[in-house]
Amino acid sequence: MKLLSRKSLTVTAAIAVLGGLSIAAAPSQAASPAHRNTAAHSSAAAHGGLTDQDLAKLPLTDRHLTRHERENLAVVLRDYHVAEGNSLDVDTFVNSFAKDGVFNDMVPGVAYRGEALGNVLPYMANLFPDVHRELKRITVNGDVISIELSIQGTFEGPLQSPAGTVKPNGAKVDVPTADFWYLKDGKVEQFNCFVGYSTMYKQMGVDFDWASAVNKH
């Protein structure tokens, strides 16, 4: 499927259209057993601390976490939980950040602060109603949490672009992503996310018109 061929976007502009997709929802209850486990831990984090049993089911590189590290991990898992479509809670997500906290969507170079942090969640739910994250590897080191994951979902909502509206086509996406959370005193000071947007666009059926760009020079 070829989209945006005549009014092609520059790579930077095109990627910026999807800025914020890094905040995908936590795995849904209808997902695979591994997804259900992650969702359950996200829910547990939202209502209290993480037990040894919780940690045993997470893809942690080291399960010997201090109490402080468990508390930090609980904050991060709670943020994934409240970003899920069926448990969307914008206020909880925004309030998890420090007053000057920032979410950096690193690939397009877009930063979200304050109320803007909450704009990402409804946008994601509209674009990929069944969006979830498959957490593959979690490393907790004091106030820093690094996560290798895959954003998955179905393209069922319209995507607004500088060239017009890209209509949903039911395409499945499975996008490699890396998240880096930096916390202090139980609050997120910085969240840096790297999303494989090129892979995502290709899976959504968006085709960048490179020939058109080359012919301009």
pLDDT score of 201 more than 80: yes
Residue 83: how many CA atoms within 13 Å on its side-chain side?
A: 30
What is the spatial distance between Cα 173 and Cα 152, in angstroms, rounded to a whole number? 5
What is the spatial distance between Cα 103 and Cα 113, in angstroms, rounded to a whole number? 7
What is the spatial distance between Cα 27 and Cα 180, in angstroms, rounded to a whole number? 19
CA angle, 96 then 124 then 77, to 5°: 35
Strand bridging mode 164-166 / 187-195: unpaired
CA angle, 183 then 185 then 188, to 5°: 30
What is the spatial distance between Cα 153 and Cα 203, in angstroms, rounded to a whole number? 11
End-to-end CA distance of the chain: 27
Backbone angles phi, psi at 137, to 5 degrees: -155, 130
- Are the C-beta atoms of residues 100 and 188 closer than 8 Å to each other? no
**pLDDT for residue 1:** 46
Strand bridging mode 187-195 / 97-105: parallel
Backbone angles phi, psi at 164, to 5 degrees: 130, -170
Runs of H (alpha helix) within 1-144: 11-17, 33-47, 52-56, 67-82, 90-95, 120-127
**pLDDT for residue 43:** 52
- Are the C-beta atoms of residues 155 and 169 closer than 8 Å to each other? yes
pLDDT in tens, 58-79: 999 999 999 999 999 999 999 9
**pLDDT for residue 27:** 35
**pLDDT for residue 208:** 73
Backbone angles phi, psi at 113, to 5 degrees: -135, 160
- pLDDT band at residue 30 under the 50/70/90 scheme: very low
